[in-house]
Amino acid sequence: VQLQESGGGSVQAGGSLRLSCVASEYTFVVSGYCLGWFRQAPGKEREEVATVHSDGTTHYQDSVKGRFTISKDNAARTLYLEMNSLRPEDTAMYYCAGTSGIKWSCPVGSGGFPYWGQGTQVTVSS
């Protein structure tokens, strides 16, 4: 399983970006999987941004609720993160991640995701 992110960049505060993650060899058809976006800023731990279960259930970190939207295109095997009203504190390396096996709900935290992309940098200037 390979995950490849794209769409990062540099924007001013209040701007928008759309991240994409193509998941090759990852089965979007079967149920019981979870995909997510995580981020890690310099000197900080990796944190969950948003997750989406195969049944469509989503979960967001409080700080991004109302600003970010996670979605997936099963046919394109692609995960998205639409980010609006970006803030300087959103600056980080963003990673997409996927679970293995059958998951009835998305794991809490990064430890439950064995598949990871290389990351895409998002920089928000004030």
For residue 69, pLDDT over 70 is answered with: yes
pLDDT at 86: 98
Mean pLDDT of the chain: 94
- pLDDT, one tens digit per residue, over 38-58 is 999 999 999 999 999 999 999
Residue type, 96: C
Half-sphere exposure of 59 (CA within 13 A, CB side): 15
Higher-pLDDT residue of 16 and 74 is 16
Q: What is the mean pLDDT of residues 26-49?
A: 89
Q: The tokens 């639409």 sit on which residue?
A: 82
- pLDDT, one tens digit per residue, over 92-114 is 999 999 998 888 899 998 999 99
Q: Which helix H or strand E contains 60, and what residues bound it? A: strand 58-60
